[in-house]
Amino acid sequence: MAIVGLENILANQGATTSSSTKESKELSSSDFLNLLVKELQYQDPLEPMDNTEYASMLAQFSTLEAQTAMTEDIEQLNALAASINNLSTVSFIGKTVNATGNVINYTGAAIDLNYKLEDAAAKVTVKVIDPSTGKTLRSIEAKNVAAGASSVSWDGKDDNGKAVEQGRYVFAVTAYDSSGSKVSGSTYVEGVVTGVKYSNGATYLSIGNKEGLISDIITIKG
């Protein structure tokens, strides 16, 4: 006997399992059985349902149920992983960290702008930039800086000596050796973690008056 109706329903449900897990499970557990009963009830006595087709249909049904259960398990695991990640992130509060980054939150107090040079430099320039306009507000120079970690202090004023508004800024570093060749340098933030912020799927740590992505942490101190 032809059982195209049931096979089509199973195929369609298999295609939509991932997008509508709950609905698929309800259809596969109740509607499937009702349809199967109808097929058996109205089958042609002279051409009863073939055992092979019946077994195949049950196998498809079992596979669909397994896929549905697996999808639900994965969703639960993802939710659990997110919860564990959030809890572990909170444990950073109170610890001193060093992280790649260049975001600072000016609150009225002087800020150390940290950077690292691959080689010694004759001249280093650290710029404080307004991220909303890309405009350089302050350029701070240092001379004869050794390779490794270093920093300059920013007093919150622009190049004209005027205090900038409190808020979020970024900084960048450029360096050159005595022959005028560029020296590779990078910025980083360092301090005690005072808070955690979640934004657009990313986790940020408030590191004193600076910010850093949790994925950019280099070192952690107790």
pTM reported for the whole predicted model: 0.57
CATH class for domain 96-221? Answer: mainly beta
Name the range with the highest mean pLDDT among 164-173, 187-196, 199-208: 164-173
* pLDDT tens track for 199-210: 777 788 888 888
Query: Which residues have a Cβ under 8 Å from the Cβ of 186 and sit 6 or more positions away?
Result: 100, 115, 116, 173
Q: What is the largest CA-CA distance in the chain?
A: 99
Residue intervals of the chain classified under CATH 2.60.40.4070 are 96-221
The token duo for 148 is: 């490794």
Across 87-91, 108-112, 113-117, 161-165, least confident range: 87-91
Radius of gyration of the chain (CA): 32
The answer on pLDDT for 31 being more than 60 is yes
Residue 148 backbone class (left: φ over 0; alpha: ψ -120 to 50; beta: rest):
left
Over residues 121-161, the pLDDT tens digits come to: 999 999 999 999 999 999 999 999 999 999 999 999 999 99
Q: Cβ(99)–Cβ(187) under 8 Å?
A: no
* Residue 205 burial by Cβ neighbours in a 10 Å radius (0-12, 13-18, 19+): buried
The rounded distance, in Å, linking the Cα atoms of 136 and 141 is: 14
